[in-house]
Structure 1
Amino acid sequence: MLTLPNLGLYIHIPWCLKKCSYCDFNSYALEKEIPVYDYINHLFNDLHLDLPLISGRKIHTIFIGGGTPSLLNSKSIQLLLHGIRTRLELSNTAEITIEVNPSILEIDRCNGYKNAGINRISIGVQSFQKSSLQNIGRTYTSHEVRRAVKIVSSLGLRSFNIDLMHGLPNQSLADALNDLRLAISFNPPHLSWYQLMIEPHTLFFTRPPQLPHEDHLWAIFEQGHKLLCAAGYQQYEISSYSKSHFYCEHNLNYWRFGDYLGIGCGAHGKLTQPDGTIIRTSKTLHPRKFMSGNYLSKRYAINNSAKPIEFFMNRFRLLEMTPRSEYKLCTGLSEDSIRSPINRAIEEGYITETSTSWMVTQKGTLFLNSLLELFLTD
């Protein structure tokens, strides 16, 4: 029998003001008023269908993502979280996060979120510069960005995060570092700093922008990393930095192969059963179909042959030691099942191994896809 990991809850709000040029998330540009209360009732119905898969376990984290969840006012979020609490047991110290758009933010709404139980806010900044925001299709101004960060930082929450991108179209090294310096000046406990990637099914995929050269991207990362470390931030995941003890607990649970319920349009879940079966769920993508009562898109058990890649594609994103004992605890498989790819990874210099742990090297971090390919099976 497996040791059941911590359990989180992800709630997806699929609407946004405008689809950004780089975005491949399941989101839909708002054409009319959001059917808020109808959608929330469908979220509860969706959750009800998943409850038999969690055996009454306690929820340790909640993450409300999107889309743009801050399109929902504080009364809606209060109703949503009250409904969640009546259906699930929450840890007394549960981290509860909502993503917000800087253009849909004012002090009353934020205080309402706080009173509803939100204790962590993630601000989708991406850039503080007008030209960069325009180049990636963001709808707010640099003034609104600064105002939003000031509002959130004044709330006295457990934590808040600034989402920042680099490697943007026509972005110079100086511009990228200035964005980072400005973000640091607000002293966020957590900072997500990631490179723009061109993903399928996005406007940038069909109309590719001119992106910085690889040498330029490396210079941005190298100098930006030094700035963050000098400011007291620790890189604990490939694109995540935090002050001491301010990790994003919800995402950390993903990366440590923890369990999570996923409700709402296109949400994904992973739920370990007492007999060791690991169930994956995915929900219906489009709001119209979801709100007709067709919540479930797929539900299946992970095959043993897929468990190694599923485990390591999460675990090796973290820049911390991976206890070797964790592999068996999380997958139910012996280490013999991965001895060959582990040996290859060591030979290639992607990881190091001790008698009790594995650790990704700098080379392994830079060539993570090549490392993970070693665990793929035919």
Structure 2
Amino acid sequence: MRLPPLSLYVHIPWCVRKCPYCDFNSHEVTPGTHVTTRHAIGSEPAGNHVPEAEYVDQLERDLRSQLPWVQGRRLGSIFFGGGTPSLFSPVAIGRILDLAEALIGFQDGIEITLEANPGTFEQAKFAGYHSAGINRLSIGVQSFDPLQLQNLGRIHTGPEAEVAATQARAAGFSNINIDLMHGLPGQTEADALKDLQRAVELGVEHISWYQLTIEPNTAFYSAPPVTPGSAQIAAIQRAGRAYLGDAGYARYEVSAYGRAGRASRHNLNYWSFADYIGVGAGAHGKFTLPDIGQIIRTQRTRTPRDYLSLGLSTGSGDGGEAFPLPKTSPVAMAELPVEFLMNALRLEGGVEVETFSAYTGLPLAVLEREWRSLRAMELVEPLGPRITTSQFGYDYIDEILQRFLPRD
């Protein structure tokens, strides 16, 4: 077992409005001024205030607490997700980046992504984010169609989304992603292609194009919309993949398409079973511990109030209690094959075969019996030089993974 590359995920949990399809850890705030004045740690800010300064202080403590798991590595990518990270000021984002660089260090050419809403409030800060060190902007468009934006509970318009991409370019960003969804209520193949066409015409380097799914604990789960049937979804996906391929966007992951050299380094880190630090309310992480032959997963408490309360003094009077480690759970040896494959097989072309043993500590032989059976069904390619599905099998990843689930 050897140490894989390392990334950092920073979770900003607030958003202006909770979208009905969203099952991420996000919490609504009333839109307005974002204060940096201090509140009592653990208290909720009143009205339209987001406790930006206090939250950044906690992120620093959070990051410092996890430094022993860094094990001498530098960061290859950073991703600010949410919620809506663009609610935070460029000054706050810059402070987080300065801390990460000082405490851990950056690899040459590090990719630093920030998710942003297309609204005019966020657009005004694009240049500041670029100056702070963000070099990749991910704009949450979802659709350019006004009816679909209404269906999805989005608070921007199609023209605002177009302007956002233009403004991002003017602010200096040379690496821009647009998020789009398909399989929306009443959506036709022509509708889906129109969304893709508008994104392509904006000249962005990367498009994340994923199917609307109805997740538990969402408004859509309680009152599900009528979405296209499976045959219509399949037709939309075939047409969209062909269109994006013809437009110069290579599919490298189930729902990710990039121009040459523009695949997201952060995405690739996740799907190749590498490590990542997670800081912020509800953030997850993964660490490899070669000295004890173990992989652990971490998770922080989800609610902003609880997160802001971490590390309070328990009565010693100095207010300097050690910041607690996140909740950790080891990945059981029996679960490692499926854990590895559920990531690696999402990549078009998979991963190099040697990474399986290098990152799990298991011999390749643990995959071979089931792999031969799957190969006979033409669902996978031979086991080496890469671990990958066949072109046919790429649409049946869930069925492939079933073969590797631990059995009692």
When normalised by structure 2's length, the TM-score is 0.89
Q: Percent identity?
A: 41
After TM superposition, give the deviation of residue 56 of structure 1 in Å: 2.8
Q: Which residue of 1 aligns with 2:132?
A: 116
How many positions carry a matched residue from both structures?
Answer: 377
Q: Which residue of 1 aligns with 2:294?
A: 277
Q: Which residue of 1 aligns with 2:45?
A: none
Q: Distance in 1 between matches of 2:294 and 2:255?
A: 31
In the TM superposition, 1:110-259 aligns within 5 A as 110-259=126-275
After TM superposition, give the deviation of residue 334 of structure 1 in Å: 0.3
| 1:344/1:374 contact within 8 Å kept | no
After TM superposition, give the deviation of residue 297 of structure 1 in Å: 5.0
In the TM superposition, 1:311-322 aligns within 5 A as 311-322=340-351
Larger-gyration structure (1/2):
2
Read off the aligned partner of 1:322 and give its amino acid letter. V
Q: More deviation in 136-145 or 293-302?
A: 293-302
After TM superposition, give the deviation of residue 112 of structure 1 in Å: 0.6
User: Cα deviations across residues 273-330 of structure 1 (Å, max 9, x unaligned)?
Assistant: 2323212111111110011016655202212111101100000000114322221011
Q: Which residue of 1 aligns with 2:319?
A: none
Q: Which residue of 1 aligns with 2:402?
A: 373
Q: More deviation in 172-181 or 309-318?
A: 172-181
Distance 1:107 1:71, change over 3 A: closer
Q: Distance in 2 between matches of 1:190 and 1:155?
A: 17
| 1:282/1:297 contact within 8 Å kept | yes
Q: Distance in 2 between matches of 1:71 and 1:357?
A: 41
Read off the aligned partner of 2:195 and give its amino acid letter. D
Q: Given the alignment, which residue of 276, 288, 299 partners 2:305? A: 288
Q: Distance in 2 between matches of 1:90 and 1:164?
A: 30
Q: Distance in 1 between matches of 2:272 and 2:28?
A: 33
Where in structure 1 do 4 or more consecutive aligned residues deviate above 6 Å?
none
RMSD: 1.5
User: Cα deviations across residues 215-263 of structure 1 (Å, max 9, x unaligned)?
Assistant: 2111111111111011111001110000110010001000011111000
Q: Which residue of 1 aligns with 2:37?
A: none
Distance 1:332 1:104, change over 3 A: farther
Q: More deviation in 335-344 or 162-171?
A: 335-344
Read off the aligned partner of 1:18 and give its amino acid letter. R
Read off the aligned partner of 1:7 and give its amino acid letter. L
After TM superposition, give the deviation of residue 336 of structure 1 in Å: 1.7
Q: Distance in 2 between matches of 1:141 and 1:296?
A: 42
Q: Distance in 1 between matches of 2:303 and 2:70?
A: 25
Q: Which residue of 1 aligns with 2:42?
A: none
Read off the aligned partner of 2:26 and give its amino acid letter. S
Q: Distance in 2 between matches of 1:210 and 1:258?
A: 38
When normalised by structure 1's length, the TM-score is 0.96
| 1:54/1:273 contact within 8 Å kept | no
Q: Distance in 2 between matches of 1:252 and 1:371?
A: 21
Read off the aligned partner of 1:49 and give its amino acid letter. S
| 2:278/2:285 contact within 8 Å kept | yes
Q: More deviation in 342-351 or 110-119?
A: 342-351
Read off the aligned partner of 1:17 and give its amino acid letter. V
User: Cα deviations across residues 4-50 of structure 1 (Å, max 9, x unaligned)?
Assistant: 11100000000000110100101011143100000000011111111
After TM superposition, give the deviation of residue 104 of structure 1 in Å: 4.8
Read off the aligned partner of 1:331 and give its amino acid letter. T
Distance 1:134 1:360, change over 3 A: same
| 1:173/1:219 contact within 8 Å kept | yes
Q: Which residue of 1 aligns with 2:378?
A: 349
Q: Given the alignment, which residue of 73, 76, 95 partners 1:57? A: 73
Q: Is structure 2 residue 43 aligned with structure 1 residue 15?
A: no
Q: SS at the partner of 2:72?
A: coil
Q: Distance in 1 between matches of 2:384 and 2:211?
A: 35
Q: Distance in 2 between matches of 1:201 and 1:261?
A: 26
Q: More deviation in 346-355 or 70-79?
A: 346-355
User: Cα deviations across residues 144-203 of structure 1 (Å, max 9, x unaligned)?
Assistant: 111111111333324110101111112122211111110110111111011111111111
Read off the aligned partner of 2:299 and give its amino acid letter. S
Distance 1:177 1:376, change over 3 A: same
| 1:120/1:160 contact within 8 Å kept | yes
Q: SS at the partner of 1:97?
A: strand
User: Cα deviations across residues 309-365 of structure 1 (Å, max 9, x unaligned)?
Assistant: 110000000011432222101101001222222223223322110543332123322
